[in-house]
Structure 1
Amino acid sequence: MAAVRLGCAERDRIDARSVVEGLPTAAEIAEASAELDDPSGNQALVEHDGGVVGYSTIRRWQERDGTWLYLHRGYLLPRHRGRGIGSALLDWAESRIRRLVRQHGTARTAVIGANAMASEQEATALLLDAGYRRVFSLVELELADLRQLPGGRPLPAGVRVGAVDPSSYRAAWGTVVDSYAGAAFTERWPFERFLATADPTCWRAAWDREDMAGVALCSVHRRDATVGEVEELSVRKESRRLGLGRALLLDGLRCLREHGAETARLYTGTANPHRSYDLYESVGFRRRNEHVRYRKPISV
C-alpha cells in the first residue's frame, strides 16, 4: 500500500512533507489500518500480477452537529487508471457504506464523504461525475525557513504568553473547541482524545490576567523532526485584534526552531472567517496545497 502511494506521487503532485496527507510509511499505514472499526471489512485492495496496485479505505466519525460522516479514500497507480478500476473502487466504497449505515442505524444523519487534493485531477473528475459536490477545502501553508522569523510586537497590558502546564490542559482544549462553535463540517474532539495525542513541549498560551485568552498548539513532526506543525491557533472572540494570535504563533515557531525544526506547516479552511491568512502570511507562510472534501447523500 505504501508503494501505491509512492507510485501516485508524481502524477498527482503529492507533497511528501504535507502534514495533512503526505507519503506515509508502511508502518504508518498499518497503524492507521489497525485503528479502523473493521480493518478487513472497511478496506479493499486491487491486485494485478500478484501485486497491490490500488486500494480504498472507509472511516467514519460524528461531527459536532450530529452528522455521521462515512469517508472513503482511494488510490490507484497511474498506469491502471482509465480502465474502470477507479469506478469499481468507488462503487465498492459506496455499497459498503450503505451496508454500514443500515447496520449502525444512522440513515437519518449519515452522509458519504470523500477527499481529494486539488492536484488529483482524475480523482476529482471521478467524484464529480458520480454526483459528489465540494463542501469545503483546507489550504496547507509552509514557512520555509524558521531562521527567518519576524520580530514580535508589544502585548496589551496585563497579557502574558508562556508554556502550557498540565493544570491548564483542559483550558487549552476548551479554547480550541470553543473556537469551532458554529463551524460546519467539524469533528467532535473529546478531552480524552486531546490528552491521548498531547505533545505539549511547544504549546503556548496567552493569559489576560488569570483567564486563558488564546492558545497555539505546536509540535515537531514525529517522522521528520525538521518539520514543525502549528496544529491549532485559537484566540477567544473577546481577545481578537489585540495581537495575541501573532504573539502565540511566533512564540510557538521559536520553540519549534529550538527543538530542531527547520520549516513549519499548518492548514486552515479556505473560508477564512477570521482573516487568518493575513496573519500567517505576515510571518512568512506561503500556500503549498489544497485539500478538498466532497459529499454525497446516502440512499439506503
Structure 2
Amino acid sequence: MKDLILSQQYALVGLDGQDSRHGSPAKRAVCRAMAAARLLETIGGGKKAVCENGSWAKQLEEGLKSVRNQKKEDAKRLETEIACQLSQKGLLEEGPDLLGCDITYATSGVELFAWRADSDAYSGIVEGIRAEILEDGPVTWETACLLWLFRESGCLHDMFSTREQSRLAERMVELGSRESEIGVLWQMEFHSGLERAMAGFLKRKENFFRNPYLEGVALMFPFLDRRKAIFIDFVVLGTDVGNRRLAVLAFLSEKGHFVQEVKNGEETLLKIDNEYYRIFPGVRRYGKIPIQGANLVPAYQ
C-alpha cells in the first residue's frame, strides 16, 4: 500500500493473528523484524543508495546486532507504536484470539485477544508481493525488503504454498546473484539461534514421520509456529452429526471471527479472519473420558 511506510506494511501482515497482550516466539520474531524495518528506514535506502554508499552494508550489519538483542520492553514499545499507527488508519484492530475457541478456554471465562488486520489491506500487500516475485522480471527494492523481513520472521509459509516456495527460492537466488544490492540485503540475517534450532528440529522430525499439521511446510525458509491448532468440543455446539460443520462456522462467528468456506482443489478449507484452516472430526481424551469434537489446523497449502 503506497500510503504505508515499510515498517507499517510489514507489521500489518506480521502482527496479524498474533497475541496482542502477551509474548511468544513468533511475536518476538515479528518485533525484531519491525525493528529491522525501522533500521532500513533510518539508514535510508533504495538500490541506488546501496550501490553508491559503500558503508551501507556495514551500517545495516551493525544495526542488526541490536535487532538480534532486542529487549522485551523495546519490543513492546515498538509493537504498541506501530499498531497504534495502523489502528488510527483503520487497518488493524484487537479482536478475539482463535485460541479462545479451543476446548481449554471456551468455557473457562478467560478472554484471549489477537491483532487482526483489515482483510483488503492484508491481501493487497501479500498478493502484490506474490505477483511480483513469482513472475519473471525485476522486483522493486520495497518488495525485496519485505521478502527479507518476512523470511527472517518466519512468515513466508503463510504467504506461499510448498510449490510456490520452491519457485520463490529459485527467484531469490536468481535475483540475489544478478542484482548485487539485493544480494547484499538478502545475505543478512537477524533471526535468533533458537529459531534456527527449532527449524532444525522440525526438519529432523519431518524425516521420521509425516505430521499433517506441518503439511505444506517446505522448511527451506525459517519456520515459526505463527498460528494455532484448536479443538472444538461438539458438546459446546449442541448439535447433531449432520449439522456439525455448519455449527462450527456459526460458533466461530459468534466468537467474533470472520469465517467463510473456500474451495482448494478437491477439499474445502475454512478462511478464518485472514488465514486458512483444515477442519476434521477427532476425539480428545480428558482422563478416561473421550470427547468428540472438531480439529482446526492451519492449512499450509
TM over 0.5: no
Greater strand proportion: 1
TM-score (norm 2): 0.27
TM-score (norm 1): 0.27
Greater helix proportion: 2
Question: Higher relative contact order by CA 8 Å / sep ≥ 6: 1 or 2?
Answer: 1
